Amino acid sequence: MPNQKPPKIEFSVDATRREYSTAALLVERQSGYLNLLPGAVVLSAVLLFVGLCSFNWFRTAFCAIYVPLILCLCCPLVLAIFFYALPAAVKKRAERDYKTYSEIMENCSLKFFDDNMIAQTRYLTLTDPYALVGLCIETPELFVLAKDSERMIVIPKRCLPEGGREDFEIFLRQVFARRRKVMRNWIF
């Protein structure tokens, strides 16, 4: 159904590879495996503590050293998985997906209405009611509208029109008030 009212704001977006990769990490951090990051940090600390306690340094007999050793080694392993391996896998997938994203979303024009937004590209017209957008993540450089754990629209702040930048940011913050996450980077 065509919208009768003119859009509140309209502009083109052109996300770079780095911005897309960052957006993928942000979405994974909020709704994927990386959402468990704080728990992983706590778990690694607990494993290290339990492992060190199990060593019982003041005892000279070193029976059953394997379990305390494994517990202590699990600490850096868990940290390596969540701070290196998983993000690296997300970035690798994002590198692969960017090729398709940049083709599908080439010359993407975004129009924001009162209750939905329309993304017009060379191939597709995507109409998304705000109510069905799961999450809006804001960083100093980006807005990322995550429709679900897979699909997202990356809006670099540099693409926002100069005159209406502040109004648009206020508009997005109001629309996604309850579903908005402000992050400095993919970790915090």
Partner 1 sequence: MEQATQISLSVLVTKDEYIHAQAMVKQKLRAKYSPAITAAGALLAALGIAGLFFGRLVMLSAPAAVCLVLLGVFLALYDGFIGPVLNKAAAAREYNEKEDLHFATAYVFSDDRVRISNGRIQGEIPISRVTGWIETPSLIRMSVGRELNICVPKRLLSQEQAELLRGILEKHAPAAEIK
Contact at 8 Å (CB) between 155 and 143? yes
Residues contacting residue 33 through CB under 8 Å, at least 6 positions apart: 86
Residue 14 in the binding site for partner 1 (CB under 8 A): no
Q: Which strand (E) or helix (H) includes residue 167?
A: helix 165-175
In the block, residue with structure tokens 């930048």: 165
The whole-angstrom distance between residue 104's C-alpha and the CA centroid of its chain comes to 20
Q: Would you count residue 188 as binding partner 1 (CB under 8 A)? A: no
Site size for partner 1 (CB under 8 A) = 28
Looking only at residues 61 through 90 of this chain, which bind partner 1 when binding is defined by CB under 8 A? 62-67
Report the site for partner 1 in 25-64 (rule: CB under 8 A): 62-64
Site string for partner 1, 146-185 (x = CB under 8 A): --xxxxx---------------------------------
Per the DSSP assignment, residues forming a β-bridge with 109 are 12, 120
Tell which one of 50, 77, 81, 126 touches partner 1 (CB under 8 A): 126
- In total, the chain counts a number of residues equal to 188
The residues of the shown chain that bind partner 1, judged by CB under 8 A, are 62-67, 96-97, 99-101, 103-105, 121, 123-128, 132, 134, 148-152
